[in-house]
Structure 1
């Protein structure tokens, strides 16, 4: 047993020992109280708190609502449970109690966190989705963003990659801007934060602010939505210690079917034969393999590249509190040996929250520290999956004759330059270490009832170091490094925030509820970068910059920006019938020049609780609540590069040195770009309308809403005259529109007293259109992805195919009937090299040529619907949690398929290529294999566009809770064991690795050999005392 494991076990044993011993002193002269807690329908209330008033002596009820507690004969007992009115009962010597809890309608009205405050859910007139920390904690992960997938309508979690060191990106309601950041603003405990360094088990609640009415109070960075997160704080209770841990095995969910060595040689011969090559000119490995296959490998590169990973996470929490003070502390550690050989992540950190109250004053603080260390995949010039599937199977993984011991292309065999990624990852050091520190504190004063004045300050620091050391190595004949090199970069980011707010809440005549907010803030951010590099070290163990002998390089950067704001909001409600919320934010940003620095962003929303009207009274037994709401407002975006409005000098540009006699005696400076002095805020205008309703006393909850987002003055590049010496100027001259709808359906049910369940279904849809740019002919193409003025984001434009040419006669007819005449009247075939087995391509505009104008809209990588389905079941002491997620009506461009079925290079082939056209195999949709591809069968076409619909069991967890009576005997308050898994199965017709990976705003649905997400099977434990 390692020392670290030994000490962990000793600590747990000591904690358990004290947990057993602490209650002993309270047993003298007490009586044993037995009781049962039910609701008005007679159903047992599981987990109700039973506490001896004035002490920390208490228990929770078991699965049958029973409890046993040793108390004083004269004690007063407090019984409470969420959603029910608490009861206080004086014993007066009684030894048995039967308690019936009644629902507290005030408590049942859920409280929703909004900017700088809270509201009852029934009073909310804007668009807000809430997720409880309990739901997120049911998804074991070290990454908070990962836990959000499928949890809230309108919140999109994009996994660009499943590789070590990567994090998913978040989007709220689709595309907001083009060319700058579309990420939502994340607020943690009232101040901006980074979810990448947040322990998911610290989250108490999360709210997604999705329209201008709710998000405008945050102004400058809220155009793409806001995510508000509250972490756990101490409450009035006895000290509690919680512990949780899980352990899991990670696996690749799917491997691609590629050729083995024998099949590879067969395909290589076929491709060269069809190209008309003389066998004497074939690569040497073909004849050598046929002569003696044993001199080559038969390597399954995916088996070598992927491995079974191991993941583990531990969390310890402590909370305590009284009337005037509370504290919450959590510590976590996680480690993941990733499924890709030579990669992994390690995280650890802590969070401390505390509050103290004295008279009319209240102070508090939050301190968070996290460290994240990543061993990332080595950069081989192309994605690792691209290399792994392309690498010839005849190459060997290891070669003792190569420097480093790993193999690759065999000398003299004329093989490809694909890389041995196992060797790359194990030989090249590519690491990143990040330290994140955030501290915030507040001082709150309540001079009169309802008026709260609060000053808050925070500072966050992010220190990051990246290190890439390439030793000398030889990975076969095509990949080598003769001189070791090292590159190191260190960055520091600091963000300071100071805010002052005043909230005043009051009610007039028990009917008119008012809430006023007024505030001001100042934020400053600085960024420093220092990098250095060098090469030629004494040996591979001397990877220190000071030991480099040549190629010294250094880089540095320093930036600073600021933001000042004033903001306000008024909320009004009349008898919970009619609601009004109006807010504004006035932001000034240093990213713009004088005259354009300030932007004003107002919003307004209204709501009508129809179910509270007298005429609805007869329907309330069926339709418990029915609310209409509408909102309109504007949000600003300042996410533009710094210093665009001033000319920037550059000493690294070409041809600005001052030479004399052929020698450079001084380095000059030149203006790098033309300043954009007139740029100003992008503004997004939101329209939102929604309906919220519940049926049968809130057993069924339903909401639906639609929205329109119009972004104006979007920043874009405008081409200017080359006589200025510059090619383009940044201007506010672009428009974008996103429309969409969302729906959520929640059902709370039970079958008898032992079986309870919650079903939560949500659906989101959006589409985004680029309406205008400074260049009216703007178009960006990446493979099949095309973004252009007048088009929708995610469109795939490619050549349409019309079947395979089957014989010489068809080839002759096709060339004679599809083409054009040149100026001299000579016929030029559209596909001059077409032969039997080649694809026909459709000439969409009929001009007899195949060019970009003949590409056709053949799909879209933006799903028509994203769905989430979350299930929670409870039966006696057992519980089951299942989370499903999927995309419907979506296409994917499968770049990996393109590589495996292009059949025109030296790379390996997918096994589907074995079905390529031959005269003996004419009934196929895969064209002939031909080296060089004279007909360009591998051009971007409908061959590589597939349906990408999928439905995935994202998380499954089966747990068992030890009965409260047993826990009480063990001296603990609860104990839960569980087993489960993530991404257990995926229903899809997509042939690539993973249908959920995505390429970003202008490459939606483009699967560019992205590292797939892993499947995990795990077991865990949670207990407290």
Structure 2
């Protein structure tokens, strides 16, 4: 992790391979065109002049002049500038072209992708945000979602790990439902899709529909917003081939810094164990023997620098076994490489003529992983292919097809040992620095096999192979001069997700010549095959016209149908014939062999309509309605109607508004209201189901049995999300300065949760039904500035954009009449009036300093009928407090620490001490361009968020949790002793209740502030002057550098940087069987360097 010179050398070595090349069709003739650009005030420096359909372009100089070379006589020039209307001018075999740009709010003419169509941004009445291809270009990342994080306010992408194929949940505007949950609907070219399987280089734009009025057209699939991903299409004119290659170097943003000195660790293990148990340990968890004699000998050797492995003579340890006295082992350093490599190759072909248009692309991505494995190296590979073709059958009919394929293979090493094989948990429990990895005879030690040895050198692994094929056929007919458009499409998608898990025991030795394996289950092989088959069809017609000079009207009417079938087959067998077995038939197990499966299907259908009306571009109206049906509900509840309406008023278009458009360009106020159903419930929630088991033995045989089914409410129906949104759009100074703000209220009604408690005599658990309600409030603010000026005789173009978003949710209705609380800090016993994300805990007023003050507190507790002052705080086996323990405040004044009745009204000495929901989510970025140099930087972060680590967060608690856990370096000299009374940490002891019992004893002293700021992306590039490149027939040559996740800061980093708060504290990682709290695949920092060439 520390070999930075090697990293720089590898950058330079691979630089020649990081090349992007574009070949365009030959022009009809060589020649130059001089373009003069002016506005009503005179020459316009800094205007963009581009040959349409190509990358051949430049900007005007201080005299408004631009010269383009190799321009075909029939080419079209495209001239644009911020705050002015874009103009396209045919060259018509001219060598000089003069253009006059007229004032216009360019942003208002921007076309925004919306449901089943597009709209001018000026006419939008809903809450919609959009980013373009520039967000994804030139970045050293193959994961679309990671690139998109932070780019759009209140599009919340929550990552729990940094794996290259990590897929976050897509959330829009905060908490959606505490019942069945609800993520945003993600559509790729109008059809539901998985963004993790996309090629980021194929993306043209991403639109986010946030409010009900914008997403209502998609009905029950989109109650909590829609993400519309549009892929690139054909370019005009002759064929263009583009090739892009990128090489990146990656390393973890954080690596836990544990004590690696063997004796220091062993000494603190003994302190932590003894101070809790008041007795001596006989071992360091499972894998090492321990005695005070061994520790004393270790101390003597450490002081003398005499580190070695010996054989016990029986005076210390078991006779004949190895005795370890190493200088120390850094298991985290052994786990990770200094850095890993990834490479990306893209190629595309695009073009069109009067009849036929096409876009074909392919991508190859390869990442060799961060783990320093040898036998089963980590590896992630992905292939993408896309083909979009259209044919103009007649002047009014066009047919097209959009087909994409994706294939990925991810190989993860796997540890055999404990649990599900989470490597960070295994290191925490058994990666003892006082044990080496290797014995003198070359065998692995017991600690090594149980932690990294089996992981790095064993033959256990997980393999994930995902395949997808998706094709969409489309036909579009246009009538009445394009005023009536009729579309029909059909999509078929097939996905296969195959998972193979192999666990093979590795040998270790505790005595020379004696090989052992970890006791427990047999080596095994399992295979899971999941198949998803999906079809969808959309038919819709759109009529658009302007009546008179002031009445704009557009109407949409359509039908949608979707269906998905899922099938899962799981096979397991143990007792592998050899460690290299890859065929489950070569596993010899009989007793534990099993085969299981699963199947489900769902269908949804709906008719939808939308009407848009604008009067004189001042008064705007949109009305949506969808009549939706879902197979997930009882027959009498399957269909429902969901309406929405939105309005807008462009004040600057009023005749009485006399302010110059160069000063105030646009003022628009808008409001929307809508209701949508949520069909995100179980596929068969309306059916009473039976489950079978065979765990009982009757008359010597296992018999299958079942139990009474859970009851189903007769009134089971849709969850409903009602959203009210009010927004303000402003732009000034010809569109250079713009502002957008939204405030929203979302009510989630009829949430699907557990209902009233049934009498015990009923014999079944409480039914789930529509029993809860919740309200979410929030806002989004966006401000941007784009401008240019002359610097050194050359245009300096720059842009700045910042955003801020916030939300919070309140439970309005829930079946918890007593308002009871859970014992965990993260209260999951919802109650009316609760703010989602509440953290309940005790108030700490420091550490106990003397035995005298403890005795006074204990006497006061006994006078009030309580045996101990703090019975919840077991800091040792005797339940007694000691100097250096955490002190809690007696908030209810009863003389001792308790939870009362554990209700909101009587919480004892607990109170709300924080909230785990992110607040004040922000981002800001800057783009600069001057003299062919361009720089862009993007920051994002969270302004407020609290976290109390669970007991499994050993990366925080260390040996306070379990004495044998790893010891974080920051603990050294930072815990209470008689000589260190101002320490942050309490006295040194294991199984410490506020840590070992984790969130059950959360308190203000160790509540973590995990707000953060992060430099998410930085790009720097230089484009060589055209006069240098045209001699070698190159249109453009650029050198670029890009970095991802370069830097971050959090208030928590005052204590430790061992956890990346941006991803590794919440959530679970199913691939690595981790549960957050630092036990996740690390977030990766990456750097890329390369060259772009355009021919």
**TM-score, reference length from structure 1:** 0.90
Structure 1 residues 403-422: aligned runs within 5 Å: 406-409=444-447, 419-420=451-452
Secondary structure in 1 matching 2:271 = helix
Q: Comparing 57-66 with 344-353, which one deviates more in the overlay?
A: 57-66
Which residue number in structure 1 is paired with residue 187 of structure 2?
187
Q: CA deviation at 1:821?
A: 4.3
Q: CA deviation at 1:673?
A: 3.4
Equivalent of residue 827 in structure 2, options 786, 793, 802: 786
| Among candidates 339, 364, 367, match of residue 333 of structure 1 | 364
Q: Does residue 1:501 correspond to 2:501, yes or no?
A: no
- Return the match for 2:308 from 294, 297, 300: 294
Q: Matched residue of 1:397: which SS?
A: coil
Alignment of 1:367 with 2:408, yes or no, is no
Matching of residue 459 in structure 1 with residue 525 in structure 2: no
Match of 1:692 in 2: 729
Cα-to-partner distance string for 1:772-793 (whole Å, 9 max, x where unaligned) = 2234457785853223223222
Bigger mean CA deviation after superposition, 972-981 or 119-128: 972-981
- Look up the SS of the partner of 1:388 in the other structure: helix
State which of 364, 384, 387 in structure 2 corresponds to 1:352: 387
Alignment CA distance shift 1:98-1:584 (3 Å): closer
Find the partner of 1:319 among 350, 368, 375: 350
Question: Structure 2 matches for 1:432-581, cutoff 5 A?
Answer: 432-449=464-481, 450-474=483-507, 479=518, 483-550=522-589, 551-581=592-622
Contact map agreement 1:884 1:954 (CA 8 A) in 2: yes
Match of 1:624 among 665, 680, 698: 665
Could you tell me how far apart the structure 2 residues matched to 1:472 and 1:758 are? 58
The answer on whether the counterparts of 2:387 and 2:402 sit within 8 Å (CA) in structure 1 is: yes
- Give yes or no for contact 2:76–2:88 (8 Å, CA) kept in 1: yes
Aligned match of 2:1017 = 955
Does the Cα contact within 8 Å between 1:240 and 1:1024 map onto a contact in 2? no
Deviation of 1:122 (Å): 0.7
Displacement, 1:398? 3.8
Q: Which residue of 1 aligns with 2:887?
A: 840
**Whole-Å separation in 2 of the counterparts to 1:11 and 1:838:** 59
Contact 1:39 1:102 in 2 (8 A): no
SS in structure 1 at match of 2:761 = helix
- SS of the residue corresponding to residue 265 of structure 1 reads helix
1:88 matched residue in structure 2? 90
| CA distance in 2: counterparts of 1:542 and 1:826, whole angstroms | 60
Change (3 A) 1:818 1:9: closer
Q: Which residue of 2 aligns with 1:212?
A: 212
User: Does the C-alpha gap of structure 1 residues 77 and 683 become closer, same or farther in structure 2, counting only changes over 3 Å?
Assistant: closer
What do the CA deviations read for 1:26-61 (whole angstroms, capped 9, x no partner)?
Answer: 55xx7x43424434353445662347xxxx999434
Q: Cα gap change, 1:280/1:645 in structure 2, threshold over 3 Å: closer, same or farther?
A: closer
Alpha-carbon distance, 1:156 to partner: 1.2
Change (3 A) 1:324 1:510: farther
- 1:602-626 deviations in Å (ceiling 9; x for gaps): 0000000001011212243311100
Match of 2:943 in 1: 888
Deviation of 1:201 after TM superposition, in Å, equals 1.2
Query: What is the alpha-carbon distance in structure 2 between the residues aligned to residue 243 and residue 764 of structure 1?
Result: 38
Cα distance in 2 for residues equivalent to 1:781 and 1:968: 72
Q: After superposition, give the CA deviation of every residue in 1:876-934 in whole Å (9 maximum; x if it has no partner).
A: 21111111001102222243454326265222222333322222222213111124548
Matching residue of 1:3 = none
1:1018 is the counterpart of 2:1057: no
Cα distance in 2, alignment partners of residues 628 and 821 from structure 1: 63
Q: CA deviation at 1:425?
A: 8.0
Residue 653 (structure 1) shift: 5.8
Q: Pick one of 462, 472, 481 that aligns with 1:430.
A: 462
Structure 1: runs of 5 or more not aligned: 1-7, 411-416
Instruction: Give the match's secondary structure for 2:136.
Output: helix
Q: Distance in 2 between matches of 1:552 and 1:605?
A: 59
Alignment partners' CA distance in 2, 1:58 and 1:274: 71
Task: Tell me which residue corresponds to 2:5.
Answer: none
Residue 924 (structure 1) aligned with residue 933 (structure 2): no
Asked if the contact 1:60/1:973 (under 8 Å) is kept, the reply is: no
Task: Give the secondary structure class of the aligned counterpart of 1:393.
Answer: coil
Using a 3 Å threshold, how does the CA distance of structure 1 residues 80 and 165 change in structure 2: closer, same or farther?
closer
Contact 1:242 1:1023 in 2 (8 A): no
Q: Which residue of 1 aligns with 2:3?
A: none
8 Å Cα contact 1:250/1:1015 also seen in 2: yes
CA distance in 2, matches of 1:108, 1:933: 61
For 2:414, what is the secondary structure of its paired residue?
coil
Instruction: Give CA deviations for 1:220-248 in whole Å, capped at 9, x if unaligned.
Output: 11112101111111132221111222211
> TM-score, structure 2 length as denominator?
0.84
Distance 1:984 1:826 in 2: 54
For residues 528 and 57 of structure 1, do their structure 2 counterparts lie closer, same or farther at Cα, with a shift above 3 Å needed? closer
The range that moved more, 525-534 or 753-762, is 753-762
Task: Rate the CA distance shift 1:299–1:781 in 2: closer, same or farther, 3 A.
Answer: farther
Q: Give the Å deviation of 1:107.
A: 8.5
Give the conservation status (yes or no) of the 8 Å contact 1:37–1:45: no
- Please give the alpha-carbon distance, in whole angstroms, between the structure 1 residues aligned to 2:74 and 2:502: 68
Partner of 1:682 in structure 2?
719
Structure 1 residues 863 and 1002, CA, compared in 2 at 3 Å: closer, same or farther? farther
**TM superposition shift of 1:800:** 2.5
- The 1:488/1:827 distance shift into structure 2, 3 A limit, reads closer
Number of residues of Structure 1 aligned to a counterpart in Structure 2: 988
Q: 1:173 to 1:544 in 2, by over 3 A?
A: same
- 1:842/1:757 Cα in 2 relative to 1: closer, same or farther (>3 Å)? same
Query: What is the deviation of 1:518?
Result: 0.5
**Partner residue, 2:804:** 763
State the distance in 1 between where 2:995 and 2:147 align: 44
Corresponding residue SS for 1:595: helix
What secondary structure is seen at the aligned counterpart in 2 of 1:712?
strand
Distance, in Å, in 1 between the alignment partners of 2:441 and 2:582 is: 24
Of 1059, 1063, 1067, the residue aligned with 1:993 is 1059
Which of 850, 856, 875 is equivalent to 2:898? 850
Aligned in 2, Cα 1:916/1:596: closer, same or farther, shift over 3 Å?
Answer: same
How far the C-alpha of 1:725 sits from its partner, in A, is: 2.5
What is the CA-CA distance between 1:662 and the residue it aligns to? 3.2
Distance, in Å, in 2 between the alignment partners of 1:479 and 1:784 is 37
Query: 1:4 is matched with which residue?
Result: none
How far, CA to CA, are the matches of 1:593 and 1:705 in structure 2?
37
Matched residue, 1:414:
none
RMSD: 3.2
**Matches of 2:129 and 2:105, distance apart in 1:** 21
Equivalent residue, structure 1, for 2:513: none
C-alpha displacement at 1:135, in angstroms?
Answer: 2.5
Say if 1:935 and 1:692 are closer, same or farther in 2 by CA, change over 3 A: closer
